A and B are shown apart, each in its own frame.
Chain A
Amino acid sequence: MKKVAVLIISIILFASGLYYGYEDSKRLNESRCLGCIALLPKAASFSTFWVEYPPFFHKKGIPAHPEAVLNESREHVVMLFFWDTGCDPCKEQWEEMKAKGIVDGSESDGRMTGNFSNITLFSIDIFNEKDGLRWLNVYTPAENPSSTPTTVILFTKNNTTYWYAFSGKADGKAGRPDLNKLEEILNEAMVMKDDM
């Protein structure tokens, strides 16, 4: 009897688990949290803004920027910040950006601040936001797993969208920009958007 009960409970748990949890588990499995295995990807150097994919992305053509991002980028410079709950490098980068006066608030409810308040922030929780992972994949080089944190800056001028991206924390190591460089890029984007 005991065994029958355990087995029935197991079947119910497993069936409902598959039904409710499969997609979530899959999404987590697809987005590789490299911070969790104590590694950060080296960012190939984006020295400036690109329109198409740069060669080191091993993807061709113009990225399929998400519609919502594209629309916003016509009005304002946009910064995308992809993060995941429990991702330490994400949290660290957020706190450091906050200390430097780039952003304000929390990862889940944040905005740009100070000199950058004109920029629109999309802070994207890749687990809880439906399209988060799909968006992140747009900005991930073909041979890398998509990973958090990833930061993207883009703007649209005369129907051309210019973008800049890096995966891993903004710590100035291994080709990744540091926060000063990030500020520079944000400033450059604002100037380019107004001037061109």
Chain B
Amino acid sequence: MICSGNCASCPVPLLFLAGGKRAKSRIKKEYTKPIQKKRLASQFIFLFITNAAFIFGVTGLIYPYFYCWEAPQATMSCPIGIMEHAVLETSIALALILTGTIFIVSSIFGRAACGWACPIGFLQDLIGKDKKKNKKGMSERDRKARYIKYAILAAIPPVVYITGTMAYTNICPIGGLTATIPILLLSPGGYTPTAFFIPKITLVALTIFLIVFVRRGWCKYLCPVGAMMGPFNKVSLLQIKFDESKCLKCYNCAIACPMDINMPYDNKSAECIRCGLCIDACPTDALKFGFTWQ
């Protein structure tokens, strides 16, 4: 598909419209340190690559993050959509390319795609409320709630198999946000809603509510793609290294962490999106990004 020239259909301005003032001040306040400047550039570049079918065309690659392949300018396939098709078609080939993509990206970078590439993560970074100052990391209840996303991920294949439908896709709020709404804006009279329209839009509204009021709320509790990548944080080459001898126990790192991880001790947490905010917050360089084979 060629760029329609209809900017209302493009998720980029949508993102900023959605974020408005908060997005602007977030960029001014939070994306100031060296790592964060790079991260902002990376998030913009990936937002562009994600929606650049007018340059790259539609490919058979898979996004190593969450984005809808029905988006007007989508360049790659959605990992969850491919997963559902792999089940519906009992296709080993699709299962291979999906696991291959997730494994290769995550075994090198851990869940860094969430912090540096995913447009949905970017959206949340821009429009999510400031987090509470909290030195202690997540509460026990919060920690347990983080397992919901793994449960969702685990439920998708059997439910798809039993119902024989794209069970997740039918109601996926990310698809609603990045495809259904832009496509409708692009061509208001061109489509009619199906029975899933109301549930989908309701979930979009709930998701927006969640991500405005809970920093990275979608990523923390609900994202099945984040659930695929999270466990790789334990074995990925890219790690956050902690040098205890330099640590002042100020817990600026824990306060800065958008995922409420118990830093600096839990530096291999499956929740870490490798955003580097903790590193930037540390007054003594006790925390550092580094590639390691250990």
Contact = CB atoms under 8 A, between A and B. Distances in A.
B68 A85 contact: no
A128 B194 contact: no
B89 A127 contact: yes
Interface string B84-108: 1100110111111111110110111
Nearest to B168: A36
A39 B179 CA distance: 10
A42 B191 contact: yes
B58 A29 contact: yes
Among the interface residues B169, B190, B192, which one has the most CB atoms of the partner chain A within 10 A?
A: B192
Interface in A14-47: 14-18, 20-30, 32-42
A144 to B, nearest CB: 8
Given A21-B96, A22-B60, A40-B191, A9 B165 contact: no
Contacts of A37: 68, 70, 169, 175-176, 179-180, 183, 200
Nearest to B182: A37
B96 A17 contact: yes
A30 B1 CA distance: 10
- In this complex, which of A4, A7, A35, A86 has the most chain B Cβ atoms within 10 angstroms of its Cβ? A86
Contact of B190 (A15, A17, A20, A42): A42
Interface of A: 2-4, 6-7, 9-11, 13-18, 20-30, 32-42, 85-89, 91, 127-128, 144-145, 168, 173-174
Given A15-B100, A26-B59, A33-B166, 17 more contacts: A6-B235, A10-B106, A17-B97, A25-B77, A25-B82, A29-B58, A29-B59, A37-B179, A37-B183, A37-B200, A42-B189, A85-B89, A86-B85, A86-B164, A91-B165, A144-B190, A173-B192
Interface of B: 1, 58-62, 68-70, 74, 76-77, 81-82, 84-85, 88-89, 91-101, 103-104, 106-108, 160, 164-166, 169-170, 175-176, 179-180, 183-184, 189-197, 200-201, 232, 235-237, 293-294
8 contacts: A13-B96, A27-B60, A28-B81, A29-B76, A33-B166, A37-B175, A39-B191, A88-B170
